[in-house]
Amino acid sequence: MKLDFTNVNLDNLSSYEDKALSAFDTLMNKDGAGNDFLGWIERPVDYDKEEFERIKKAAEKINKNSDVLISIGIGGSYLGIKAVDVACDSYFNSNRKVKLIYAGNQISGEYLSDLLDYLKDKDYSLNVISKSGTTTEPAIAFRFLKDAIEEKYGKEEAKKRIFATTDKAKGALKELADAEGYETFVVPDDIGGRFSVISAVGLLPLAVAGIDLDEFMAGFKEGMDEYTQRSFENPAIKYAAIRNMLNEAGKDIEVLVNYEAKLKYIAEWWKQLFAESEGKDGKGIFPVSVNNTTDLHSVGQMIQEGKRNLFETVLEIENPNKDLTIKEEKENLDGLNYLAGKTMSFVNKQAMEGTTIAHVKGEVANIRIKLDKISAKNIAKLFYFFEIAVGVSGYMLGVNPFNQPGVEEYKSQMFKLLGKPGYEN
């Protein structure tokens, strides 16, 4: 993984060095706000090896008896999993034995009804992921799916097909799992949801999907080795400093850009990571994303000539896993013969370069993150890079990067409207 800051004016960056390194020290010394949730920093080497092996065995079991695994979770219990899942699978011709399907990430009765219909002639298992077991969206989905799987297989067989990833000692889901005899895995106390894909939260469904967990963890380890170095040349520290420099210059929106549709859910994970970590106390850089070249034909105009309060971070894949070469046609009715002999990835890259030139000309600073290729290992390293960066950036902003108090307000208002006991007006 390489970072390119060529298209950012760095004349003022040196004035942010001391602040960035101080924020990094706060993160690594674990003496800042939210320090109870920093278990992810050492997790690439300090994890439960016994649970790791149990995860692999559970994945093998699911692959033997199921066509589908329903991953039931929301936020950090959903986005990291789907990011890796979508990025590492084929668009159309998946060779996976078990299909991952997601539930409990919204409250659509139509979605869940269609899912229940779809599952009627499938063999399936459930992985319900919730630290408490009472989060509204996954709890509703699990009610329906638990009833359906018990009706299909009977309670004794169903309990062998339900896996609970939850608190190690307490909570509604833990109590239910113990009472029913579900195999359980742990949501760590010291790792917040948006950082939790490195734990059983992400590892079980990804193992079922065929992700090599040893390679995945190796990617996090490479990130740990590289991005925990105390140096202003550390790309994670520099990225955090540049973000804060641009923010103080009035650039309060960051656009994560990709030119490969498989990376869409990487951006969705990234948006949660930065929005929940930085968006508090009236502060924060608003994270949005675009999928190019598709979105050049929708929001490209706004990026090019709209309000100058944004900057871009581009994910570039240097070596695609597959490609096509454009052929010459005799009639040339579409006028594309000038591209004959060129690969689609070459054309896509020139679109990226041309867009960068145009946007920089339009006063949009442009950061480039280059990945050799899409792989679970590279994505894990990218995740770790962003996690270190958001910790440094959040402390530079003067907020606690590891809580999300504002998330509770919408819940309170929703519960009042629904008449939940204890939330009456």
Q: How would you class 233 by CB atoms within 10 Å of its CB: exposed for 0-12, middle for 13-18, buried for 19 or more? A: exposed
226 is catalytic: no
Contact 278, 393 (CB under 8 A): yes
Q: Which of 260, 276, 278, 312 is catalytic?
A: 276
| Helix 235-248 × helix 376-397 angle, to 10° | 50
276 is catalytic: yes
Q: Which of 155, 373, 411, 420 is catalytic?
A: 411
Catalytic positions, please? 276, 411
